[in-house]
Amino acid sequence: MTWRGFKDAIGAKIMFLFASFILSLAFVMALGLYLRARPILAIRPLKALLFSSLWQPLQGEFGLASFIAGTLWVTIIAIIIAVPLSILTAIYLSEYAHRRIREFLKPVVDLLAGISPVIYGVWGIIAIVPLVRDYLMPFLSERFSFFPFKSDNYTGYSAITGGIVLAVMVFPIIISIVEEVMRTVPFEIREASQALGATKWQTIKHAVLKKALPGIVAAVILGLSRAFGETMAVLMVAGCALHSFPRSIFDTAYPLPALIANTYGEMMSIPLYDAAILLAALILLMVTTCFNMIAWGILLRIEQREM
């Protein structure tokens, strides 16, 4: 082997070691969280921890059901709001917008992705909380009986408030990915559809979106993963009241990320408290990892298909 070939082989092995180290971090974190959560798993079955809403650390009760429900409420609301708006925005940027408008709007979308979650939280407190408290809640309560109006004690800090703020945070991810995926659809497909007499919207609806559907699904999953794991903004606007199981979008919600950020480091002298919090972190890590692996797997298949 020549000296040049020897250097290439050494460089490849070094890069492989660094890449393996980076990829192994997720497994190391999962293993560390599992080992720290084993004490509570040894005396409480996982099913009891997941489906019990009784959270009383002083009595040794660590039910995570209310926190899981809060996470699901906030995440589902965010996805319901973000997905249609993001897809329509991506369609406009990809198919309708003039090049100059596209060049102006894309940096704005990227700017939204770079804003600190604390800023979103402050914006939620200033704008979204009063909007929900003074307008949205009374409006729905007057028209739908299953939204009981709580005029005396309703503060506006609720699951829907957190969902709206999260939806704005998820917009850039879904818009960017969907727009890029739609632009990879061959232009010949559009020409063939329009040559058969289809309008521009019919071409987008029946040809472009159908071809880009796997990428759209991947974008939604990545947005779901971001919403599922977001902490600070939700902690500021969702209410985060203990002993509260959210039963409607206007109830306070206490998602798992907020629980971890708000309570870890406090009351660590209580037995099993540390293990319960780290079990919640392990659940959050596993769910977000699964979401990301599925989404990036879909995107990788799209990329390989286009090569």
Whether 149 shows a pLDDT value over 70: the answer reads no
Q: What is the 8-class DSSP label of residue 253? A: B
> What pLDDT is recorded for position 164?
92
Q: Using 50, 70 and 90 to split pLDDT, how confident is the model at 139?
A: confident
Closest Cα to residue 276, out of 262, 289, 290, 264? 264
Q: Is 274 in contact with 292 (CB distance < 8 Å)? A: no
Residues 6+ apart with CB under 8 A from 267: 57, 273
Domains and CATH numbers, the chain: 3-306 (1.10.3720.10)
Residue 126 has pLDDT above 70, yes or no: yes
pLDDT score, position 295: 80
User: Who wins on pLDDT, 145 or 244?
Assistant: 244
Instruction: Encode pLDDT of 242-265 as tens digits.
Output: 767 888 888 888 888 888 888 776
- Comparing 147-156, 183-192, 292-301, the range with the smallest average pLDDT is 147-156
**Gap between the Cα atoms of 70 and 77, Å rounded:** 11
**What is residue 138's predicted lDDT score, i.e. its pLDDT?**
78
